[in-house]
Each structure stands twice: as structure tokens, then as C-alpha cells.
A and B are shown apart, each in its own frame.
Chain A
Amino acid sequence: MDGPIVNAPLRPDVGATSIAEETVKAEVRELSFFYGSGMQALKSVSMSLAENKVTALIGPSGCGKSTLLRCFNRMHDLYPGNRYDGEIIIHPDGVNVLGPDVDPIEMRMRMSMVFQKPNPFPKSIYENVAYGLRVRGVKRAGLIDEQVERALTDSALWGEVKDRLQDQAYNLSGGQQQRLCIARALAVEPEILLFDEPTSALDPIATASIEELIAELRNRVTILIVTHNMQQAARVSDYTAFMYLGELVEFGDADDFFTNPKQKRTEDYITGRYG
């Protein structure tokens, strides 16, 4: 490993150079990840997420950025043989997401995820947004109505769907479906919102509306977004991390990152020499 990784704080009060001014929401500490096949997808990755900021993970396909994202809500636990090594600490309570005594379900309840391809349930628009609340045992119809409306408003979909909440979610366009998935993720008021290449299946106009949405959600929720689109990372993120072959090559303030990369490999990537 030639590139020194930007020091992620091992204690939130110390802080990494790059996010020193921020409250730390989550810290990844020397995280390695192995797929059941034995392939090591992450090699001792350390970084921090600033609270209520957007952190983008960029890098060429297969660099481990989605793998890292899916460690946060323990999606890898759904498939046998996968193994984590290291820690992801969530503040303020300091729980280690990957701790052996931590229930992955608790982590999935505290973080929401938006997937690459819009994946609404084949149910009504309303039920899609309400499902997270139903999982949490919310029974009061009034409360669910309220949350559904708020989430749809926050995802800039309310105006378009308020008169047809009982319609099948599949009648929506791709971009609307993805905003519905964001509403579904927001309805449960997550601490961290995980986006896994949320616009790669969308057209440019839908992409722009999702990016706008992310910009609006900033300051209200901590966001981690994986993207292979560098312009997108530059547009939406406050902090950017570049990953390559399972390693975190560079991590820092987005403006610095794109204008003044410290690593040769980062520079090569953002100037389009590979990836």
C-alpha cells in the first residue's frame, strides 16, 4: 500500500485532518472484508462520515465501494460465508456495527438504503412508503399517514402522487420509482442514508432530480453515496473518498479532492486516465 490513507480519527474528539471541524457520525476503522469465495474486497479501510454531510465513495468497478457501503447495514450477512474484520463505530452511542453481539436488524433499522435499480415493492405507493413503519410495529393509521406524506414531500414526490397513493408503484416512471424508494428510506427517519449508485439506471433528467434531492437532504441526515460518476460526486458531496482495488486511496474535503488531489492515483482517476 503506497498511499498513506488520510487519518481517520480513532476517537471522534481527535478527528481526521479533513473532517476536523465536523461532528463525526460514523467511523470505519481498519475494515477488511472477505466474500464467501475467499476474495478480499476491502483492505483495511479507515474513514469517517461527518454528521449531516454527504460523503461520496468513488472508484472504478470492482474497487469495493459498494461492498463498503453494504457493510454499514450488514447486507453481507444475508449471504453465507462473508466475513468482516475491523469496526464501524456509529456515534453518539459508539456501537460497533460489526460487533458480534450486534443485531444486523438493529443496524438496518437505524440506517436506510437506496439501491442501484429502483426496487419498489409491487404494492401501492402508500404501502411502499409505509412498509418500514409497519416493520417497526407502527399501527396508528394517523401516524403512518403523516409519515408517508412527510417522506413523500421530502422526496419531492408528494405533488405528483398525492391523488393516487393507492396506485401500484410500478405505474410510476423510473425516476419517480427511485424517489419513491428514497421516500421509503426516509419514512423511518434513519440516522444514516446509504445510496448505492442511485442514478445509474436513470436518465439525465431523473438523475438531476435525485441529485437535487440529495442536496436538500444534506444538513438533515448523514449521507453516504456510492457513485461511479465523478461529476456527480463533485456536485453532491461534501467529502469524497477514492477507492481502488479494495483500498481507500484518498479521502478528504470534496473541493480539495477534485481540485488538488494528493495521490497520483486519485489524480489519474479524476482526470480520466483509468477507470
Chain B
Amino acid sequence: MAAELTPSHRMEPQALRALIGRNKQSDKIFAIVGLLAMLVGVFALIWLLVGLVMDGGSRISWQFLTSFPSRHADKAGILSAWVGTCLVMLVTTFSAVPVGIAAGIYLEEYARHNWITDIIEINVTNLAGVPSIVYGLLALGLFVYGLGFGQSVLSAGLTLGLLILPVVIVSTREAIRSVPVAMREAAYALGATRWQTVHDHVLPYSTGGILTGIILGLSRAIGETAPIITIGALTFIAFLPPSPVTSEPPFISFEWLMAPFTVMPIQMFNWLSRPQTAFLNNAAAAGLILVVMTVGMNALAIWLRYRFRKKIKW
């Protein structure tokens, strides 16, 4: 075949057409294989969502969102679970985000690139792949007993914070790295220090990417069950943690940090282990709301990325 392509053996138009036809065969084959592969993913997701809606759709109501769990499936709700999830996510965000961004900036902009930073980099990347239950074990020893935070919102938030820290670090580094060298050099050439360059240029230009990483990390954390069980979340909880906002000065209270809690996935797990089918419906409904929360966060990530990318052109 190759010989036919040399100028002295120029192919006849007819032979050329036959060849193109044969080449296009593999195009068609891949189009079919690719379509099937895509359908597997889409179909699985649709099946999952349809299943959740069919089982739990009827349970979703205002009452479901504002009730505590109950022995009676039809009176049970997820109030303590979603409030717990929100509070835990708050702690996770405030612990993982500053630490992760600072570490990412340090590794990318400040640290000298040598074998030590190489090892740290490999470790950070691999930490993202450590099974979450291992983080649970670590947190049980460190936060629950070691630092004496007990089985609290604080322990859970910090555990999940630790879990998503590598995700935040890696995405921060990638976002920072996408800022062109020319921008850094322009700032340095004007006499900017490293911190001025990072603060005035590198960070603002990579905000979109960093936020995307944070939100993807948080949407992983929101569904985590194993480490939360390991540190001892309650499965049945019929009260809310103390409110972070109080009516008396100083109006802000941190008591909720030390309160026992439950989260959405644990509430689901609890309901799933009941024999009555009515509770299965509750679990499906809670699952649906959890999916909506996650999809909402991902949508936010996409929107933020779009907004920040649109503003910045290199």
C-alpha cells in the first residue's frame, strides 16, 4: 500500500476512493463503539435517577425537609441530616481551602524545584487516592481522641477537610500553573515581590480554576460516609446543633462545632438498614436531595469557571 503512495505510483482516482472508503470504515466502527460507551454512562445515570425518583419522589415535601428522624417512616425527615451536612461542609471548606491554597501556592511559586519537592508532589498526588476510610482511622486517633474534639461537627469537618486537601492543592497548582510566565515576568520586571506577584496577578487570574477544584473536592466530601462513620457520627439524632447565630452579643457562637451530628449519607445508610420498605423510600428521597446538592455544586463550578475564563484572555 505504501508503495502506491509514492509519486511515481500515483493511485488512480478509483483506487483512491476505495481506499478512503476502507479508511472510513474504522471511523464508522468507532462512532458506534463510542456511542455505546457513552450510552452505558448515560443509561446508568438515568436509571439511578429514575429509580430514586420512583422510590423517593413522593416523599419529598416540606415536611420531609423540616422533620427530625422518627420511628414512623411517614413522619421522618432529614432536618438534622442536611443541617449537619451543611455545618460539616462549612468546617471542611474553612479548613481545607486556606490550607490547600496556601500549600499549592507555596509548592508552585515559592518552593525550589528539587527532589524534596518532587517527593512531596508525588505524595500529595497519591494522597488523593488513599481510601477515605483510612482518613477516618487517622481522624479517629488525631481529632476525636488525640485533640479531644470528640464525635463532633468539628472532627467530621476536619476529617473531610483532610480528605479533600490533596484535591485542593493539586487543582490550585494546576490553576496557578496555567497563568502564563509572561504575566509573572511582567510583574517581576516592574519590581514586584513574589507575594505582590502572587497576590495581584497569579491568584486573581487563577481564581476560576481554584474555585472549580474546591467545589469538586467539596462535592466529593458531601457524599463521604465511611470516614464519618469511623469517627462516630450518630445515626439517629433528633435535635439540631446550637445555632451559630445568637440573639445576644457577640451574636456568633461556636458551640455547634462540638455538637454531635449526623449527615445525609449516614441518614440514608441508617434508613437503608431498616426492614420496612417505607424507610427505603425515605432513603431514596434523601439520596435524591443529596444528588441535587451535588449537581448544584458542580453546576456552580462550571458556571464559575465559565465566568472567570470569559473575563481573562491571554
Choice from B113, B189, B200, B312 contacting A75 with Cβ under 8 Å: B189
Please indicate which of the listed interface residues B180, B189, B201, B314 has the most CB atoms of chain A within 10 Å of its own CB: B189
Q: In the complex, how many angstroms separate the beta carbon of B310 from the nearest chain A beta carbon? A: 11
Q: A119-B185, A119-B186 are in contact. Are A108 and B205 (CB under 8 A)?
A: no
- Contact status B190-A184, CB under 8 Å: yes
B190: chain A residues at CB < 8 Å are 108-109, 112, 131-132, 135, 184-185, 188
Contact across chains for A75 and B182 when beta carbons are under 8 A apart: no
Complex Cα spacing A171 to B174, Å? 27
Asked if A80 is at the interface (CB within 8 A of a chain B CB), the reply is yes
For residue A134, which residues in chain B have a CB less than 8 angstroms away from its CB?
A: 200
CB-defined contacts of B200 to chain A, threshold 8 Å? 131, 134
Chain B, 185-213, contact with A by CB distance < 8 Å: what is the 0/1 string? 11111111100100011000100000000
A115 with B185: CB separation less than 8 A: yes
CA distance A79 to B189 in the complex (A): 14
Closest to B188 in A: A78
The size bracket of the interface on B is 20 to 34
Contact, CB under 8 Å: B191 / A109? yes
Query: A122 contacts the other chain (Cβ, under 8 Å)?
Result: yes
* B186 lies within 8 A of A115 (CB): yes
Is A73 touching B189 in the complex (CB atoms < 8 A)? yes
Q: Known contacts A105-B193, A121-B183: does B112 contact A80 (CB below 8 Å)?
A: yes
With a cutoff of 8 Å between Cβ atoms, the chain B residues found around residue A158 in the complex are: none
* Residues of A within 8 A of B (CB-CB), count: 27
Chain A residues within an 8 Å CB radius of B201: 121
Q: Does B311 contact A (CB under 8 A)?
A: yes
1/0 per position for A175-200, CB-CB distance to B under 8 A?
00000010011001000000000000
Smallest distance from the beta carbon of A53 to chain B beta carbons, Å? 22
A140 in contact (CB, < 8 A):
no
Chain A, residues 51-83, CB within 8 Å of chain B (1/0): the string is: 000000000000000000000010100101000
Determine whether B28 belongs to the interface, using a CB cutoff of 8 Å to chain A: no
Q: How far is the CB of A154 from chain B (nearest CB, A)?
A: 16
Contact of A119 (CB < 8 Å), options: B182, B193, B311 = B182
Q: Which residues of A contact B205 (CB under 8 A)?
A: 122
Name the B residues within 8 Å of A184 (CB-CB).
Answer: 186, 190
Docked Cα-Cα span, A115 to B181, in Å, equals: 12
- Which chain A positions have C-beta within 8 A of B183? 119, 121-122
Asked if A122 contacts B191 (CB within 8 A), the reply is no
Is B313 interfacial (CB-CB < 8 Å)? yes
Q: Which residue of A lies closest to B179 (CB)?
A: A122
The 8 A CB mask of B155-190 against A (1 = contact, 0 = none) is: 000000000000000000000000010111111111
- Residue from B186, B187, B205, B314 whose CB has the most chain A CB atoms within 10 Å: B186
Q: How far is the CA of A105 from the CA of B185 in the complex (A)?
A: 12
Residues of B contacting A185 with CB < 8 Å? 190
Is A78 in contact with B196, judged by CB distance below 8 angstroms?
A: no
C-alpha spacing A73/B188, complex, angstroms: 10
A170 within 8 A of B: yes
A119 cross-chain contacts in B, Cβ below 8 A: 180, 182-183, 185-186
Q: Which residues of B contact A218 (CB under 8 A)?
A: none
- A117 interface hit (Cβ, 8 Å): yes
On whether the beta carbons of B188 and A108 are closer than 8 Å, the reply is yes
Instruction: Decide yes or no whether A113 CB sits under 8 A from chain B.
Output: yes
A136 within 8 A of B: yes
Give the Cβ gap from B154 to chain A, nearest Cβ, in Å.
39
Give the residues in chain A near B196, CB-CB below 8 Å: 135
Residues of chain A lying within 8 A (CB to CB) of residue B189: 73, 75, 108, 112-113, 115
Residue from A115, A121, A136, A184 with most neighbouring chain B CB atoms (10 Å): A121
Given contacts A80-B112, A117-B182, A135-B196, are A122 and B187 in contact (CB under 8 A)?
no
Query: Contact flags (1/0) for A81-121 with B, using CB distance below 8 Å?
Result: 00000000000000000000000011011001101010111
Give Cα distance in the complex from A109 to B196, angstroms: 14
Quick check: B185 and A122 within 8 Å, CB to CB? no
In angstroms, Cα B31 to Cα A78, docked, is: 48
Interface string of B75-112 (1 = CB under 8 A from A): 00000000000000000000000000000000000001
Task: Specify the chain A residue showing the minimal Cβ separation from B182.
Answer: A119
Which residues of A pack against B, CB within 8 Å? 73, 75, 78, 80, 105-106, 108-109, 112-113, 115, 117, 119-122, 131-132, 134-136, 168, 170, 181, 184-185, 188
Q: What 14 additional pairs, Cβ within 8 angstroms, besides A80-B112, A170-B313?
A: A75-B185, A78-B184, A78-B188, A80-B113, A105-B191, A106-B191, A108-B190, A122-B313, A122-B314, A131-B187, A131-B190, A135-B190, A135-B196, A168-B313
